[in-house]
Structure formats: structure tokens, C-alpha cells
Amino acid sequence: MRSDTGKLSLILLMAPFALWIVLLIALPQFGIGYVSLREKVGPGEYELGFANYTAFLGEPIYWNTLLRTAWMSILVTFLALVVGFPVAYYIAKIARKRARAGLFLLCLIPLWVSDLVRAFGWIVLLRETGIVSSSLQWMGVISGPVELLYNDITVIIGLVYTVVLFMIVPLVSTLDGMDDAMLEAGYNLGGSRFTVFRRIIVPYAMPGLVAGCIITFMLTAGSYLTPILLGGKNSSWFTEQIYNQFITRYNWEAGATFGVLLLAFTSLVVWVGLRLTGQSLATTVAKE
């Protein structure tokens, strides 16, 4: 009787999550995959095939945009790690317990504002008549207005600001569980700060580091508003190609193909990263 009650409780608890996965993730992905395989053979007539994928392979501009998006996403992930790791370590191991909640809350504040508002905030700061340009003119550093928008550096800065929190959160949760005695033992055995960092802190934080890198990379590669608003016409982001196919050209087959390829390519990059770090997705999720 108790066993049946336990199973029923587990089913009822897991049902909303299962419905969320199936209805909002699995079915839409299957639908996009099906649309990507459709080939127009006449007005309102389709047949299944891989013509959309072969057409993509024959267009170097699409490949270059995809590779450029992947490269810049990797760079943003690395910079987010460089910025986020010291912050996460300070919150988890150095700050006083009373201050940790407040510091963590400060990291969460940017999430209270939408991506659109945050992007326009950078525009207010970096445009030709913005705060940064006006301040540099007032200090005499520059003689006239300078346009700091619409370049790759601005896009990278905006993306790092957007995703760095998703690097900090898993690192804080991982480092918070590390016993301080491990660090003391490393120093007592003659290890320098760099040695302790390399041999103790980094291996212990690896699950959180990998989880943060995966989340950050996927969010960056799938970003749309920040590259478009901060990069302008000079930005070449793959999500813009997907948007153009769906909305501008109303070519759902090509848009679905691009979406599937972006998911497949980013998943491949994540798999290669897991292999290089010696981690597995199941282990990383379990430890997190």
C-alpha cells in the first residue's frame, strides 16, 4: 500500500515537469526538425528530403556566420569565466556569511531588467553622444564625439555582461561546498597560491565551471537582441539569419534548417568541451 502511494506521489510530482519537457521542448524541436526536412515541390505540396541542408552547405556565407558565432560565443564564455570566477570565489570563500546573501543579490539585479532594456542601457552609455563619449570629451582625452557602438568589442562586452551571472551561480554553489581544511592542507604542505589554485580549487570547482561554461555558451550562441542592437549592420550573428528566414523571407523550411544546425553545432562544441575537460554531462548535472 505504501509502495503504491509512493509511486503515485512520485508520478504526481514529476507530471508537471514531464509535461513541460514534452510540450515546450521536445515537441517543438521535433516540429522544427520535421519542417527542416520539407521540400517544396509545388504550391502547397511538400516532400521530405535533405535539400535544405545541402543548400546550406553550398552557401559559404552561412557557414562563415555560424563559425563566427561559435568563435565569439567561446570567447564570451572564456571572458565570463575570467570575470565570474574571482567574484564567485570571493562570495563563496572570502566574504563573511552575513555579506554573502547581499553580494549574491547584487549579482542577481541585472536579471530584474529585460535584455532589451539592458542593451539600450549600453547604447545610452556608448553612443556618439552618450555618457562615455561626453565624459572623455570633458576630460580632454578626445577632441570630438566618438561612436563606440556597432563593433565586435561592444557586442562582446554586452554579451559578457548579460551572461556572466550564469557563470557565477554554479561556481558559487560548487565552491561553497569546498572544505576550507583542503586549502589549509595545501598551504601547510608548501604549496604556493598558484599551486593551491591549480591543484585544489580548480579540480574541485570543475563541475560548476563546466556547468557555467555550457549554460553561458548556449545562451550566447542563441542570443539575438544584444548582437543586433549593439553590433548593428556590422554584426553577423547566426540567430539573425534564422530570424530573417522565418520573418523577413517567410521561408520556414530554411529557418528551421538553420535552427537545427545551430542546435547541432553548439551541442557538438559542448560535447568536445566535455571530452577535453574529462567531464560528463550526467556527472556535472548530478554534482550541481
How would residue 283 be classed by pLDDT, with cut points 50, 70 and 90?
low
How would residue 4 be classed by pLDDT, with cut points 50, 70 and 90?
low
- Please determine, for residue 261, whether its predicted confidence score (pLDDT) is greater than 70: yes
- Please determine, for residue 186, whether its predicted confidence score (pLDDT) is greater than 80: yes
Q: CATH number for the domain including 177? A: 1.10.3720.10
Residue 7 falls inside a structural domain = no
Question: In one letter, which amino acid is 222?
Answer: G
- Paired residues of 60 in beta bridges: none
> Which H or E run includes 207?
helix 202-221
- Paired residues of 39 in beta bridges: 47
CB neighbours (10 Å) of residue 15?
Answer: 10
Alpha helices in 90-201 (DSSP H): 97-108, 115-126, 131-138, 152-175, 180-188, 193-196
Count up the domains in the chain and report the number.
Answer: 1
Residue 102 falls inside a structural domain = yes
Three-state secondary-structure class, residue 234: helix
Q: Spell out where the chain has E strands.
A: 38-42, 45-48
Residue 37 falls inside a structural domain = no
Residue 172 falls inside a structural domain = yes
- Show the cell assigned to 223: 542570443
How would residue 288 be classed by pLDDT, with cut points 50, 70 and 90?
low
User: Residue 155 sits in which domain range?
Assistant: 53-287
Length of the chain in terms of residues written: 288
Grid cell 539575438 in the structure block, residue = 224
Residue 20 falls inside a structural domain = no
Residue 85 falls inside a structural domain = yes
Residue 84 falls inside a structural domain = yes
- Return d(Cα 276, Cα 221) in angstroms, integer: 20
- Paired residues of 47 in beta bridges: 39
pLDDT, tens digit, 9 for 90 and up, residues 134-177? 888 888 877 778 888 888 889 999 999 989 999 998 999 888 88
Q: For residue 285, what pLDDT is reported?
A: 52
pLDDT, tens digit, 9 for 90 and up, residues 42-99? 676 778 888 888 888 888 888 889 999 999 999 999 999 999 999 999 998 888 878 8
- Paired residues of 38 in beta bridges: 48
Residue 133 falls inside a structural domain = yes
Helix 60-89 vs helix 252-277: crossing angle, to nearest 10: 50
